[in-house]
Chains A and B, each alone.
Chain A
Amino acid sequence: MISKCREFEDWLDDGRPAVREAAATVHAAGCERCRAALASVRSVEAALALPADVPAPAGFTDAVMQRVGAAEAQRAQGGEASWRRLLSPPRFSLCLRFLLQPEVVASVLFFALAAWQWSSIFLLASRLGPELALQADALSRALAGHAIEVPGSLRVLASPSIMLGVVAGALPLFLWFSWQLGRWSERAFATPRLVGLRPR
C-alpha cells in the first residue's frame, strides 16, 4: 500500500516496478500532485523511446573507412601485432592474460624443464655436491681464522618459526610484485594500438 507521496515518488524513481503498480494507481487516483508526477515520467519515457538519430557530419563514412584501412594495414603486418592482439583485453580474462605474459611463460617453461629433467639435475648435483662441500669446508676454515662474529640478533632468524613468519610476511610482497610485473608487461606488450585516431 502506498499512502504517502514520498513513497509514490520512490516508486516512480525505482522505475515503476509492477509489484506496487496497483497500490500506486490507487494513490495517484486521489492525489493531483502525484498524478502530475506520473504524467511527467510517462512523457519522459515516451521521449526516451524516440530514436537518437542525428545526421552525421559530411565525410563521416569516408573517415571511418580510412581508419578501418589503417587498422587493417597494421593488423596485416602480423607477427608482433598478432600476438599483441592476442593478449589485448578483453579477449581473455585478466587471469589468463596474466598467465600469458612473456615472463610468466618463461618461468613456467623453466620449471617444467627442471621438473622433466629432475633426475638429471639431481645426478649433476650429487656429482657437484662433494666438490661444493669441499669448497664450503675450505671457505669455512678460511673464515674461522678470522673469527667472524655473527650478531646475536641474526641467530634468531635460524629459528623455524621465525623463518616461517618471514616467509608469510614476504609472500604478500612477492604477490604484489608479481602483480605489478604482470601489469607492466601487459602495458608494454599487449596494449592495442589503433592508428588514425586523433590525439586527445
Chain B
Amino acid sequence: METADRQPSDDALVEAARRGDQGAFRVLVDRHRDHAYGVALQITRSREEAEDAAQEAFVRAWLGLARFRGESTFGTWLHRIVARRALDHAAARRTHDKREAEIEAAEMLPEPSGDRRDPLLARRLWRLMSRLDPRQRAVVDLFYREELPVRDVAEALSMPENTVKTHLRRARLALREAWLREEGAVR
C-alpha cells in the first residue's frame, strides 16, 4: 500500500505524462483540479465558464507538455494557462446584466477551502475581487498567489509590462478603498 511518502512527485508524473502516460496525467489533474477551478472561478465569476476554462487549460497543458521546460513548478505553469483561458472566457462574456447576475451568484458560492483559520478573510476578499475587471483579477492572482514577477505575469497574459503595472495599481487602489469602506460600515 502506498503511503503519503511514496506518492510520486509532480516532476515524475510530468515526465511520465510527457511519454504518453495518461494515467500519470490523470493523477496530476486530480491534484491540481481544485486550484485550477478556483483560479478560473476567481477570474470568470461563472461556474460554467470556470469549469470550461479549467478543462481547456488541462487539455492545453497535456498538448503542451513538450514545451514545459521545468523552469517553474507544474502548478505554476498550469496556473498561467488557466489564467489565460479564464481571461479569454471572461472577455467573451456577452452582456453586462448577465455579468452582474453572475457576480451576485458568485457571492453565494462555497467558501474557498484555503486557510481554514481565516475563512472570513478569504470570503471577504472573494467578495471584493468581484468588483475588479477580469484582467485585473488575473493580474492580481498571478502576482500575489503565484508570486510571479511583473515580467512573467506580462508574458503569461500576453500584455505589456506597463499594462500589468497599471492593472496592479488600480486593483490595489480598488481593493484598498473597498476594504476601508467595509471597515467603516462594519464598525
Contacts and interface: CB of A to CB of B under 8 A. Distances in A.
Interface of A: 12-15, 36-37, 40-41, 43-57, 60-61, 63-65, 67-69, 71-72, 75, 91, 194, 196-198, 200
Contacts of A13: 169, 172-173, 176
- Size category, B interface: 35 or more
B81 interface: no
A56 B36 CA distance: 8
18 contacts: A12-B176, A13-B173, A41-B176, A44-B176, A44-B179, A46-B118, A47-B122, A48-B144, A51-B145, A52-B141, A57-B37, A67-B55, A68-B58, A68-B59, A71-B62, A72-B62, A198-B52, A200-B92
B92 A50 contact: no
Interface of B: 22, 25-26, 29-30, 33-39, 41-42, 47, 51-52, 54-56, 58-60, 62-63, 67, 89, 92, 109-110, 112-115, 118, 121-122, 124-125, 128, 140-141, 144-145, 168-169, 172-173, 175-176, 179-180, 183
Given A60-B37, A65-B29, 17 more contacts: A13-B176, A15-B169, A44-B176, A48-B140, A49-B144, A50-B125, A51-B38, A51-B113, A52-B35, A53-B34, A55-B37, A60-B51, A61-B33, A67-B56, A68-B58, A197-B59, A198-B52
A63 B29 CA distance: 11
Contacts of A49: 144-145
A40 B183 contact: yes
Given A60-B33, A60-B51, A64-B29, A54 B175 contact: no
A36 B181 CA distance: 11
Contacts of A69: 22
B118 A60 contact: no
